[in-house]
Structure 1
Amino acid sequence: MLNLLNKTKCILIPNLRKTASRATHDVVKESSSEVAVSKTTTAPLILPQNWPQYEPMNRAVSRQVWIENIDDVPERKVGIIELHPDVFATQPRVDVIQENIEWQRKYRYVSFAHTKTRAEVRGGGRKPWPQKGMGRARHGSIRSPLFRGGGVAHGPRSPTTHFYMLPFYKRVMGLTATLSVKLAQDDLHVIDTVDVPTQDPQFIKELIKERNWGPSVLIVDRDDIFPENISYATDALSYVNLMPSYGLNTYSMLKHDTLVLTVNAVKHIEERLLYQLHRTDAIKKQGKFKLDQV
């Protein structure tokens, strides 16, 4: 059925998101009985290519989003893409998202707090007073932890790493839960490409203001080499960042208010996450993490 729709270039819109009401009248005309396609519309229905291999667990929770343009400031709908429910319509596990955030914040953190022991403190080489006959407590050095200015017993020693590895499928679940939350909160947008017509940062500023993309934007593409125009345009904007799809993570998605994905990035993210969710050797990934396994 899907192949037939692609061959005939018909647009099937069973359920639209809230943003569909803002679509221009020359793209889709909706009636009460059926959805008719305008004869002048050339936007095809874009579906991920790996759906026959990984069928959704529940077709009733399918998600569809508009594909927006980025070559001009005014918003224009250029098509519709259907998102895989197992990636973009999962349960919003806030606890798993929090565990991923704590893991990403701690695994790269090294504490440099350092205290000296009684052997490292300067001075205190001789016995402060005789062992007996003075009526005082017996001591062997004024650098004992009992004395002011002495060493510290059981104090922090640098460098102290806080590295630990979160279970593999909690990391996968963190990505799917975060993507689903971003989509549910209308903070996820899909664009056709990252080619902008100019290197002027003002174009990106006006684009974000016109689209209401929020105070910070994360733009994700399939490749790690971005076009020259968008690289120069976003270089001077600290609140707009570029990232390849293989580096997408929970912390970066929540750090930015709006997540903008290209069509190629959506397909790549779905392909990788669906593979991990349906892999047959998952038991190997559930073992204890070892530092020498990579």
Structure 2
Amino acid sequence: MGDGVLRSPVGMWGSHQWVLDGSRSQPGQLYSLARKCNQEPLIKHLEHFLFLSTLPEDVGLPSNLKLPPNLISTAKRERPSPVGSGLPVLRKCEIEIPPQLSAKQAWLESLKDDTLGLVELHPDVFAVPPRLDILHEVIVWQRNFKRISHAKVKTRAEVRGGGRKPWQQKGSGRARHGSIRSPLWRGGGIAHGPRGPTSYYYMLPMKVRVLGLKVALSTKLAQDYLHIIDSLEIPTPEPQYLLDLAKQRQWGESVLIVDVHEDMPENILKATANLKTINLMPVIGLNVYSMLKHETVLLTVDAVNFLEKKLLWHDHRYSPLYPFRLPYNDFP
């Protein structure tokens, strides 16, 4: 192959090995050499034969098949496991863990620094087996309980006209009718049509709703899309600070920040005021739909304490005491 002359291939075109100056070559090498030697018939044949994965690196995709650079993201860095890291455990579970289970460890981060230490999470909240059926059931319920259909059609009594009998009952040979606004007539009323507004509200059992929250939290943590932070303090109210932080730590396209208090620090309120991809939410309003709608969820340590206390209480509550008259005040 030193003289740069393309020899004729040996065997059928369907073979995967060719002879180039007495040595066997792969189809990609043959394609490159054919391009250098301007062998147009062979180039056209190999373009139909070769897969794109066998082409050499210097042969790119056609311009109409290339993705724009803004749609190509870098691979997410896999964070090391917190188990055995040697960092101090800054938060331990306040609620007793069953003897057959062990606490789940996660990194404790800050919006200023990267890693501060470790936190322990209760396995009955953050290590629940994935249940896609529960997530689907809760999502459908959340999207329906506010849904109201305003579709409304007129009955034969509401359509204008039709008070006179169109023809006599007998003797005309035609079918008997009493009104031209009957549902049988064109332009008549609608029988059994929608009579909105119609509510699609129904109540999902509390146990299912609680399990949906646990499954969503556990799934986010298992996929490394749940991060624990110490507080919401940031040094500047500039939105670009949060955008750069999300890009640097690979939080994805959308971030949900959850805190136990509704009164959040002023800097983070100003920074997220005009951002559509980074949202704030009090922990009392945390729901499955919002967690799945955002790629990454950030929980403060206080929010973790609140969630564990509320969600684990439902595992041992006395059922006849529910429902409460004032749910949020009567909860423990």
The reply to whether TM is greater than 0.5 is yes
Q: Is the 8 A contact 1:87 1:176 kept in 2?
A: yes
**Alpha-carbon shift at residue 154 of structure 1 (Å):** 0.4
Using the alignment, how far apart are the partners of 2:227 and 2:210 within structure 1? 21
Aligned to 1:240: 278
Structure 1 residues 82 and 36: alpha-carbon distance in aligned structure 2, compared to 1, 3 A threshold:
closer
Which residue of structure 2 lines up, in the alignment, with residue 118 of structure 1? Answer: 156
Question: Counterpart in 2 of 1:149?
Answer: 187
Task: Single out whichever of 157-166 and 269-278 deviates more from structure 2.
Answer: 269-278
Report the TM-score, using the length of structure 2 for normalisation. 0.70
Pair 1:282-2:327 in alignment: no
- 2:145 pairs, out of 107, 120, 129, with 107
**When the two structures are superposed, what TM-score results if normalisation uses the length of structure 1?**
0.79
SS at match of 2:119: strand
Give the residue type in structure 1 aligned to 2:101. Answer: R
Correspondent of 2:79 among 1, 19, 38: 19
- Given that 1:221 and 1:244 are in contact with CA atoms closer than 8 Å, whether structure 2 keeps it comes out as yes
Larger Rg: 2
RMSD, matched Cα: 2.2
Aligned partner of residue 178 in structure 2, secondary structure: coil
- The 3 A distance-change label for structure 1 pair 180 and 169 is same
The structure 1 segments of at least 4 consecutive aligned residues displaced by more than 4 Å after TM superposition are none
In structure 1, C-alpha distance between the alignment counterparts of 2:157 and 2:234, rounded to whole Å: 63
Matches within 5 A, 1:157-176: 157-176=195-214
Distance 2:187 2:301 in 1: 64
Query: Cα distance 1:123–1:83, how it changes in 2: closer, same or farther (>3 A)?
Result: same
Call closer, same or farther: CA 1:250–1:58 in 2, change over 3 Å.
farther
Query: Which residue number corresponds to residue 100 of structure 2?
Result: 58
> Offset at 1:58?
3.2
AA matched with 1:20: P
5+ long unaligned stretches in structure 2: 1-77, 328-332
Partner of 2:31: none
Give the aligned length: 250
- The residue number in structure 2 matching 1:69 is 110
CA deviation after TM superposition for structure 1 residue 293, in Å? 8.6
Aligned in 2, Cα 1:220/1:36: closer, same or farther, shift over 3 Å?
A: closer
1:130-176 CA distance string (max 9 Å, x none): 22222211111111000111100001110111111111111111111
Q: Secondary structure at the match of 1:66?
A: strand
Residue aligning to 2:75: none
1:232 CA displacement: 1.1
Aligned letter for 2:277? Y
Sort the Cα spacing of 1:57 and 1:99 in 2 relative to 1 into closer, same or farther, 3 A: farther
For structure 1, which runs of at least 5 residues remain unmatched after alignment? Answer: 1-17, 38-42
Q: Deviations over 1:29-87 (max 9, x none)?
A: x7xxxx656xxxxx653213x22xx3235334x3111111102xxx5201110100010
Q: Percent identity?
A: 52
Whether the 8 Å contact between 1:109 and 1:163 is mirrored in structure 2 is yes
Q: Is the counterpart of residue 259 in structure 1 residue 297 in structure 2?
A: yes
Quick one: higher RCO (CA 8 Å, sep 6+), 1 or 2?
1
1:278 Cα deviation after fit:
2.2
Quote the Cα distance in structure 2 between the aligned partners of 1:36 and 1:83.
17
**1:211 corresponding residue in structure 2:** 249
Q: Quick one: which amino acid aligns to residue 263 of structure 1?
A: V
Alpha-carbon deviation of 1:241? Answer: 1.1
Give the Cα separation in 1 of the matches to 2:193 and 2:326: 33
Q: Aligned to 2:80, what secondary structure does the other structure show?
A: helix
Is the CA contact (8 Å cut-off) linking 2:89 and 2:120 kept in structure 1?
no
Kindly indicate whether the alpha-carbon contact (under 8 Å) linking 1:56 and 1:84 is maintained by their aligned counterparts in 2. no
Alpha-carbon distance, 1:186 to partner: 0.8
Q: Which whole-Å deviations, capped at 9, do the CAs of 1:244-285 have from their partners, x for residues lacking one? A: 111111111111111110111111111111112122x13444
> In structure 2, how many angstroms separate the alpha carbons of the residues matched to 1:145 and 1:57?
69
Residue of structure 2 equivalent to 1:47: 92
Render the CA deviation track for 1:191-236: whole Å, top value 9, x for unaligned.
1111111111111111111111111111000101111111111111
Partner of 1:14: none
Deviation of 1:20 after TM superposition, in Å, equals: 2.8
* Alpha-carbon distance, 1:129 to partner: 1.6
Equivalent residue for 2:27?
none
Matches within 5 A, 1:127-138: 127-138=165-176
* 8 A Cα contact 1:20 1:66, kept in partner: no
The structure-2 alpha-carbon separation of the partners of 1:293 and 1:194, relative to structure 1 and needing over 3 Å to count, comes to closer
Q: 1:66·1:79 contact (CA, 8 Å) conserved in 2?
A: yes
